[in-house]
DNA sequence: CGTCCGCTTGACGTCGTTCAAGTTGGGTGG
DNA sequence: CCACCCAACTTGAACGACGTCAAGCGGACG
């Protein structure tokens, strides 16, 4: 490791000491592009930190949103129900995600937001975001980018449902979670916590809970991965990636400019 | 109609006379919230207008994007291929859409962008967008909003694939196109042009072209709609909406603040 | 200790795919 | 103007993945 790399690391650690809440924001996706001032501004914009129990609806669709939540700990999701009450989960959120930042520009959401586990969130009032948009173009662009990252994950979710069979969908979802949780240091040797039910997973990948259960059994019996009491063990990552046709490029590891090789 | 409404209409027409290219941008979704200065700025940001033939790849994934395209005429799409070459279309674009505005904040895309029909686009160089972000917070927010509209459509696309059967998916897609094209005055008594192939549609809704053909036949025989030589005829809109479980709220007709009832 | 929710497994039905064989129609060249 | 061509569309028959229905299991919590 070069000296400058060490310096960068130390600087990052120092900065983060003063910005404990947004420490994970855009980690592994261009967080370095944020200046110390950006980081301080964002940290100062936090209104309160709040703990919320599992299975709580945080935001109902059509409801006016006045602040956005940066997820610090736990798992949240976004979903919509059809009129028979069948649920489609459209996004999972893990620590470091700015869960409903899009509520700032949209004013109200087109879907519900809920916790799946107990969570801790940092709330940022939209008035603060307005100030940022008015005075900090670079930070604004980073925030914008982070909402577009969600859009990129949505697109991959469409691919998952449109082109993969049940095995592939499940494999793909766990590949994504593995990659995302890895970026925020939540994975150790292929093992990570993701304490949701099989029903939740089924509602995400668009199959029935019964069939999801069979798929999980298949993956387990083939030695690819296990999912038990909220813990995921990736046993054969290459095989899983193959089954899922997974390419993590859409997660923009390294940030907006990496693959584009900024001039 | 009230006098002030008439005035508003006249004013809008006057403005648009000087902004022919961005006339359709955010039409029906909060375009009114753009000030005359915003409109002029955006119009002035246009670099060139270009005509592109049908079936042309405009932007390849991972390729550095240096300008974004506002679609003026024709149909475009965004898609990704799996490694066997199966295509999943993740978005259709119609006149008034800022097709790859997200390329500005992301720098490179995670998918390909292509034309389906001959199109006319207005190109905006990213340097111009940077100036807008630096000096025009309100316009910045409108642009941000327009990229989030795409994300909202992605979410509904996920719902379509995850919760609906083949009939419902096709019905849902056509309901969306009907609503979107209606907002930019491309629909007359339930009839509109959408000159794509059945293969394209199949690649969008995640079924085989063979089955798509059967679904279309079913919809035709039940008198719900027809699709022939690039022309869509909505014959029984309520039935189609019912089949699709369609609720256009996610298209944000009226703009960001309508359902939220801005204070 | 009982209850409830989530997990598990089996049997069977159905929707959509696959494979295969035409048909139609817009575009091109003789 | 007609003949030809090719891509897109259309239809049929058989198969298979996933859904549905039903029953039983197991662990957490009151």
- Tokens standing for residue B145: 């909003």
Distance from CA of B100 to the nearest CA of A (A): 11
Q: Tell the residue number behind the tokens 């009230």, with chain if given.
A: B2
Sketch out chain B's domains with CATH numbers.
Answer: 3-149 (2.60.120.10), 165-244 (1.10.10.10)
Beta strands in chain B (DSSP E): 46-52, 57-59, 67-73, 76-81, 87-93, 112-115, 119-125, 191-193, 225-228, 231-234
Containing H/E element for B241?
helix B237-244
How distant is the alpha carbon of residue B7 from its chain centre? 29
Task: Residue B54: name the closest of B97, B115, B122 by CA.
Answer: B115
HSE at residue A127, side-chain half, CA atoms within 13 A, is 1
Q: Does the beta carbon of B140 lie under 8 angstroms from any beta carbon of chain A?
A: yes
| Cβ–Cβ under 8 Å, residues B119 and B75 | yes
- Measured from the Cβ of residue B3, the count of other Cβ atoms closer than 10 Å reads 7
Distance from CA of B53 to the nearest CA of A (A): 26
DSSP state letters, A74-139: S-EEEEEE-TT--EEEEEEE-TT-BTTTHHHHHSB-SSEEEESS-EEEEEEEHHHHHHHHHH-HHH
Number of CB pairs, chain A paired with chain B, less than 8 A apart: 158
Nearest CA in chain B to A110: B250
A contact residues 53-92, partner B, Cβ 8 Å cutoff: 61-65, 78, 80, 82-83, 86, 88, 90-91
Residue with CA nearest C1' of nucleotide D7: B197
Pick B158's closest partner by Cβ from A108, A147, A161.
A161
Q: State the pLDDT at residue B208.
A: 98
Which of B84, B110, B176 is the best substitution to test chain A (most A C-beta atoms within 10 A)? B110
- Distance CA(A39)–CA(A139), nearest Å, equals 9
Per-residue pLDDT of chain A (263 residues; tens, 9 = 90+): 555 666 666 666 667 777 899 999 999 999 989 999 999 999 999 999 999 999 999 999 999 999 999 999 999 999 999 999 999 999 999 999 999 999 999 999 999 999 999 999 999 999 999 999 999 999 999 999 999 999 999 999 999 999 999 999 999 999 999 999 999 999 999 999 999 999 999 999 999 999 999 999 999 999 999 999 999 999 999 999 999 999 999 999 987 876 544 44
Nearest CA in chain B to A242: B83
pLDDT digits (tens, 9 = 90+) for B143-161: 999 999 999 999 999 999 9
Beta bridge partners of A64: A108
Residue with CA nearest C1' of nucleotide D10: B213
Q: Does the beta carbon of B151 lie under 8 angstroms from any beta carbon of chain A?
A: yes
């Amino acid at each position: 490791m070069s000296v400058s790399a060490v310096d960068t690391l130390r600087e990052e650690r120092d900065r983060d000491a003063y910005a404990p809440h947004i420490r994970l924001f855009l980690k592994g996706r261009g967080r370095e592009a944020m200046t110390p001032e950006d980081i301080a501004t964002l940290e100062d914009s936090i209104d309160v930190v709040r703990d919320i129990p599992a299975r709580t609806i945080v935001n109902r669709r059509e409801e006016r949103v006045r602040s956005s939540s940066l997820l610090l700990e736990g798992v949240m999701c976004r979903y919509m129900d059809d009129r028979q009450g069948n649920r489609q989960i459209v996004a999972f959120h893990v620590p470091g995600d700015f869960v409903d930042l899009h509520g700032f520009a949209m004013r109200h959401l087109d879907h519900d937001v809920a916790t799946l586990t107990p969570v801790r969130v940092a709330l940022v009032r939209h008035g603060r975001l307005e100030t940022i948009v008015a005075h900090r173009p670079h930070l604004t662009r980073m925030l914008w980018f982070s909402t577009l990252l969600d859009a990129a994950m949505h697109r991959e979710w469409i691919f998952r449902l449109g082109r993969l069979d049940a095995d592939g969908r499940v494999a793909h979802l766990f590949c994504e979670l593995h990659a995302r949780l890895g970026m925020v240091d939540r994975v150790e040797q292929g093992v990570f916590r993701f304490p949701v039910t099989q029903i939740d997973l089924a509602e995400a990948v668009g199959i029935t809970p019964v069939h999801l259960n069979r798929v999980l059994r298949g993956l387990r019996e083939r030695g690819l991965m296990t999912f038990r009491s909220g813990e995921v063990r990736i046993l054969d990552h290459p095989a899983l990636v193959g089954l899922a046709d997974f390419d993590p490029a859409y997660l923009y590891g390294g940030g907006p400019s990496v693959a584009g090789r900024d001039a």
